[in-house]
Amino acid sequence: MLLGIVKRESFYDICTMQHSINNHVKKHISATENDLVLFNNVLNEVTIAKGAYLLQPGHHVTEEFFVVKGCLKAYYMDNRGNKHIIQFAVENWWVGDFDAFYNEGTSSIYIEAVEDSQLLSIESSKLNKVFEKAPIFERYFRILVTEAFISQRKRILSAQEKNTQERYVEFCTSYSNIENRVANYDIANYLGVSPENLSRVRQKLKIS
Amino acid sequence: MLLGIVKRESFYDICTMQHSINNHVKKHISATENDLVLFNNVLNEVTIAKGAYLLQPGHHVTEEFFVVKGCLKAYYMDNRGNKHIIQFAVENWWVGDFDAFYNEGTSSIYIEAVEDSQLLSIESSKLNKVFEKAPIFERYFRILVTEAFISQRKRILSAQEKNTQERYVEFCTSYSNIENRVANYDIANYLGVSPENLSRVRQKLKIS
């Protein structure tokens, strides 16, 4: 039921999808053709429709996901019922509940498709086998999580120091071209500002 | 001048220091004796006195640091002159300006010793050589940065959802026994609450 609208079939052919992930890998590490084949062989194709959930709280997390095409948002609901957007994921981003994936636990967040999306997934147990057979992928994921850590820290510092306009411009740089794919109130939520405040800033930037 | 009171000599003997880092490594990965020797050979000993700075803004960052003994705080000053504590580091924690270290840039933060401290440092260029010769250390740092990323995300979510008492108890769990080593106003700054509010919570917890 939970993942009833997630289909294990693609609207892209497998070659296009492998091309996408392999390009991303090659941008970060020097992998051999054998390493790439090994990695490609453990990836699964996942199609998810706009509005459907890839993850919901309580769901046992065994996979993380690479976005080939589409857009998703990751958020959690606090105990007062308020939504907090943690991350958007567009083409070439990894998304998942990394805490639950790493600690083999249950999800505490929602991941919802903002657009029809095409993903590749990898299971934790299979990833560990890849690490054993092709340790170069330890480097790939070390680099990715280091970049994510740095980006998350920058977001914390920006929230403390920068004004709405500076933060919105920073957001548009990090998430290239996403400003037209995601609702204004979701971007405002992510930035921790009011939708009205963000609308004013966007209007001002359009004019200038 | 900047690092004038940082001495490249230790108040611990090198065996004690190596024992400390090797124990930490072995808790995370299965390293061989050869791997450990290779790693130990690129580490430098650093002693820093209470109140001295390990890093200041503008300092070119080539190293990150493992705390063998002592306590430090990492913070940045915003453009209104307000201090924001990012991290405390006690025994068995790595500390540094990870953004600048990873991107070979200059520091944007201060790292100040809260106590006389004994550290081990590693240079970026030497770490890359370790990765080439002993790829198992890719895993060590991948695991550490993954844990740091998860912990940072939890801190963001806690700030949005939990009350001062819950956050303080969480802090005491993450930073075991640090509550008596760091000033009340620094912990309050880290948690993003007022020192008065934190004092009330600490008093209440002492009584209960």
Q: What are the φ/ψ torsions at residue B119 (nearest 5 degrees)?
A: -125, 165
Model confidence, pTM: 0.90
**What pLDDT score was predicted for residue B9?**
55
Print the domain residue range for A11.
Answer: 6-128
Average pLDDT over residues A94-119: 95
Average pLDDT over residues B127-152: 95
Q: Which residue has the higher pLDDT, A44 or B17?
A: A44
Average pLDDT over residues A138-144: 96
Residue A58 host element (H or E): none
- What gap in Å lies between CA B33 and CA A157, rounded to an integer? 41
Q: What are the φ/ψ torsions at residue A118 (nearest 5 degrees)?
A: -120, 120
Q: Which residue of B has its CA nearest to A97?
A: B150
**What pLDDT score was predicted for residue B60?**
96
- What gap in Å lies between CA B112 and CA B106, rounded to an integer? 16
**What pLDDT score was predicted for residue B208?**
67
Q: What is the pLDDT of residues B65-123, one digit of tens each?
A: 999 999 999 999 988 898 999 999 999 999 999 999 999 999 999 999 999 999 999 99
Question: Is the alpha carbon torsion for A26, A31, A34, A38 positive or negative?
Answer: negative
Shortest Cα distance, chain A CAs vs residue B199, angstroms: 23
Residue B148 lies in a domain: no
* CA distances, A120 to each of A48, A69, B184 (Å): 11, 10, 47
- What gap in Å lies between CA B161 and CA A78, rounded to an integer? 6
What's chain B's average pLDDT? 90
Token output for A156: 């914390």
Q: Using the predicted structure, report yes or no on whether residue B11 has a pLDDT greater than 80.
A: no
Residue A106 lies in a domain: yes
Shortest Cα distance, chain B CAs vs residue A27, angstroms: 16
Q: Which residue of B has its CA nearest to A76?
A: B157
Q: Using the predicted structure, report yes or no on whether residue B202 has a pLDDT greater than 80.
A: yes
Residue B132 lies in a domain: yes
**What pLDDT score was predicted for residue A1?**
36
**What pLDDT score was predicted for residue B8?**
54
Residue A29 lies in a domain: yes
Q: Using the predicted structure, report yes or no on whether residue A150 has a pLDDT greater than 50.
A: yes
Average pLDDT over residues A64-79: 94
Residue B196 lies in a domain: no
- What gap in Å lies between CA A195 and CA A199, rounded to an integer? 6
Among A9-13, B50-54, B195-199, the range scoring the smallest mean pLDDT is: A9-13
Fill in the amino acid letter for B203: Q
Q: Domain holding A31: CATH number? A: 2.60.120.10
Q: Using the predicted structure, report yes or no on whether residue B4 has a pLDDT greater than 50.
A: no
**What pLDDT score was predicted for residue A10?**
55
Shortest Cα distance, chain A CAs vs residue B146, angstroms: 6
**What pLDDT score was predicted for residue A11?**
59
CB-CB neighbors (< 8 A) of B99 in chain A: 150, 153-154
Residue B55 host element (H or E): strand B53-55
Residue-by-residue DSSP string for A86-136: EEEE-TT-EES-HHHHHHT-B--SEEEESS-EEEEEEEHHHHHHHHHH-TH
Among A62-66, B35-39, B78-82, the range scoring the smallest mean pLDDT is: B78-82
Q: How many domains does chain B fold into?
A: 1
Shortest Cα distance, chain B CAs vs residue A9, angstroms: 30
Query: In the beta sheet, which residues pair with residue A66?
Result: A94, A120
Residue A94 lies in a domain: yes
Residue B19 lies in a domain: yes
- Contact flag B99-A152 (C-beta cutoff 8 Å): no
* CA distances, A107 to each of A18, A62, A65, B40 (Å): 27, 10, 14, 38
**What pLDDT score was predicted for residue B207?**
75
- What gap in Å lies between CA B57 and CA B63, rounded to an integer? 14
- Contact flag B156-A156 (C-beta cutoff 8 Å): yes
Average pLDDT over residues B140-150: 95
Residue A148 lies in a domain: no
CB-CB neighbors (< 8 A) of A100 in chain B: none
Which of B99, B150, B160 has the CB atom closest to A78's CB atom? B160
Fill in the amino acid letter for A102: Y
- Contact flag A150-B76 (C-beta cutoff 8 Å): no
Question: Which among A63, A87, A64 has a CA at the least distance from the CA of A148?
Answer: A87
Cβ atoms of B150 and A99 closer than 8 Å: yes
